[in-house]
Amino acid sequence: MGIKSFDQKRCISGCNICIEDCPMDVFVLDAKVGKAKVAHAGDCWECLLCGEKCPGKAIQISPSAARKLWYPY
Are 6 and 33 in contact by the 8 Å Cβ rule? The answer is no
Distance CA 61, CA 51 (A): 7
Segment 60-64 shows an average pLDDT of: 73
Is residue 71 pLDDT above 70, yes or no?
A: no
Dihedral sign for Cα 3, 23, 49, 65, please: positive
Are 58 and 8 in contact by the 8 Å Cβ rule? The answer is yes
Longest pairwise C-alpha distance within the chain:
39
pTM summary value: 0.80
| 3-15: pLDDT as tens digits | 889 999 999 988 9
Distance CA 57, CA 47 (A): 16
Domains observed in the chain: 3-61 (3.30.70.20)
The DSSP code for 51 is H
Instruction: Look at residue 67 in the predicted model and tell me its pLDDT.
Output: 52
| 26-55: pLDDT as tens digits | 999 999 999 999 999 888 888 888 999 999
